[in-house]
Amino acid sequence: MSRLYFHSPSGEAELPGSEFAWLEHLARGPAIAAWDFEHTDVVDRIARILAMVPEVPDGEHGSNYLHTGLRAAQAEERANKAAYGAWRPGQPLLGLAVSNEHRRLLVRSLRTRLNVDGVDLHVAGVKLHSRNVELNTAIAAGSDPIRLAAKLAGWGPGHVWVEGRHRSWLASVIEEGLAGGMFRRRFRRGDKPDGELLTAGWEQVVEFLRARDDEPIVTAHSVYEDFPNPTTHLDWPGRQMQSWDDCSEAEQRAITDWQERWYDNEDSTARWEAGMAWLRERRPWARLALDTLADVTFHHPVTVYDLFAPDRDERVRTAAGLETSPAGRTS
């Protein structure tokens, strides 16, 4: 089973993969409500969403299936309205030639896409991604535990971190989540009523956080890179690498040699110090603290609510730091 680890130089605590998946569920909750796929005019609502999603060539595997599905659902709705318009009192409603199959398929397809890969969004000249927008919605609408769920779900595998002096604060946020039932003390295996009762691990994380205040704590996920690792170093030679195949032989050799030297170095203190220097310089936005939990967002601070607002374009451009002159020119 996968794990979300909370590492420090002197120890660690962990959450099982099922609890990490629960964090994802918590983090997406506000956005799911804001997308509102239960809306009466859901096809029109999805049309507004997909108007922000660039169409791509349909291709061999139907890669433009969302827009294709939207057009099918819109045609279905037009046919349904025509059938209802032709209906006359006394005629049986059950005999009307109406269908909602394409609408159901469209809703299911978009929900799945948002949950799995997300979609690129282009709004007023600004490029966004639905994953970031959803997590920002949790930050805007959620309590501190929901905000923490968003940060751990979004950045936890790539390392979020808390300084030693803020460990007690983080423990208090987790305790708030436990008291409110958002974070689980225990859960049933497979979420079945008769499943084995398992410990979620939060209480051990709290105990670990409160054990001392002189060491930072950094998260890592068992499916991804541990912390520290060869890449969490300011001198790692592969920092500009896009892909291994794009590197020259000399570049590949330099990266391989660096990794071997890093693993041969048994000075764990030096590894940690180098890793923390890398985090503080390269990922300062991933620091968890009272002053960052609500204020530091995922990319531009745009939420699902912003995407449906009457002044959407102004909101998005302002969030992206773009100022528009009265004549409509960007300054």
Question: Has residue 169 been placed in a domain?
Answer: yes
Contact by Cβ (8 Å): 24, 151 = no
Percentage of the chain modeled with pLDDT above 90: 71
Establish if 251 belongs to a structural domain: yes
Per-residue pLDDT band for 197 (boundaries 50, 70, 90) equals confident
Distances (CA, A) of 30 to 144, 183, 186: 13, 16, 23
Region 225-246 average pLDDT: 86
pLDDT class of 321 with cuts at 50, 70, 90: very high
Smallest CA-to-CA distance from 153 within 135, 168, 173 is with: 135
pLDDT grade for 247, boundaries at 50, 70 and 90: confident
327 in a structural domain: no
Q: What is the pLDDT of residue 41?
A: 94
Q: What is the pLDDT of residue 316?
A: 97
Q: What SS3 state is found at 211?
A: coil
Q: Which two tokens stand for residue 61?
A: 């595997």
Lowest-pLDDT choice from 154-158, 214-218, 267-271: 267-271
Average pLDDT, the chain: 90
Higher local confidence (pLDDT), 194 or 96:
194
Q: Which residue has the tokens 């704590």?
A: 217
Give the 3-state secondary structure of residue 262.
Answer: helix
Beta-bridge partners for 221: 4
Distances in whole angstroms, Cα of residue 294 to Cα of each of 127, 155, 265, 284: 22, 15, 38, 15
C-alpha to C-alpha distance for 74 and 98, rounded to whole angstroms: 13
245 or 229, higher pLDDT: 229
**Residue whose pair of structure tokens reads 């294709």 in the numeric block:** 68
Residue 327 has a pLDDT of 46
pLDDT in tens, 14-24: 999 989 999 99
Q: At how many degrees (to 10) do helices 130-141 and 144-155 cross?
A: 160
pLDDT: which is higher, 160 or 58: 160
Sequence-separated (6 or more) residues with CB below 8 Å from residue 44? none
Residue 43 in domain: no
- CB pairs under 8 A, 24+ apart, for 84-91? none
Weakest-pLDDT range from 92-106, 111-125, 216-230, 251-265: 92-106
Indicate if the pLDDT at residue 324 is higher than 60.
no
List pLDDT tens digits, range 145-157.
Answer: 999 999 999 999 9
Average pLDDT over residues 70-79: 95
First vs last Cα of the chain: how many Å apart? 52
Tell me what pLDDT residue 97 has. 66
Q: What is the pTM of this model?
A: 0.89
Burial of 139 (0-12, 13-18, 19+ CB in 10 A): buried
How much of the chain exceeds pLDDT 70, in percent?
A: 93
Give the per-residue pLDDT at 1.
Answer: 74
Query: Domain total for the chain?
Result: 1
- The residue-averaged pLDDT of 198-224 equals 94
Q: Looking up tokens 């530091």, which residue turns up?
A: 296
Bridge partners (DSSP) of residue 8 are 11
Range of the domain at 162: 3-35+133-307
Whether 86 maps to a domain, the answer reads: no
- Say if residue 1 is exposed, middle or buried (CB neighbours under 10 Å; 0-12, 13-18, 19+): exposed
Confidence check: pLDDT of 190 > 80: no
Look at residue 293 and tell me if it is in a domain.
Answer: yes
Distance CA(162)–CA(313), nearest Å, equals: 35
Please report, to the nearest 10 degrees, the dihedral formed by the alpha carbons of residues 271, 274, 276, 277 taken in order: 180
Name beta bridge partners: 123: 126
Confidence of residue 244 (pLDDT cuts 50, 70, 90): confident
Q: Which pLDDT does position 94 carry in this prediction?
A: 62
Q: Give a yes or no: residue 224 inside a domain.
A: yes
CA neighbor of 255 nearest in space, from 273, 270, 242, 272: 242
Contact 62/71 with Cβ under 8 angstroms? no
Q: What is the pLDDT of residue 308?
A: 97
236 by DSSP, 3-state: which?
coil
Q: Is residue 88 part of a domain?
A: no
Report how far residue 147's alpha carbon sits from residue 288's, in angstroms, rounded to the nearest whole number: 10
What pLDDT sits at residue 196?
81
pLDDT in tens, 39-73: 989 999 999 999 999 998 777 666 799 999 999 99
Cα gap 164→188, rounded to integer Å: 33
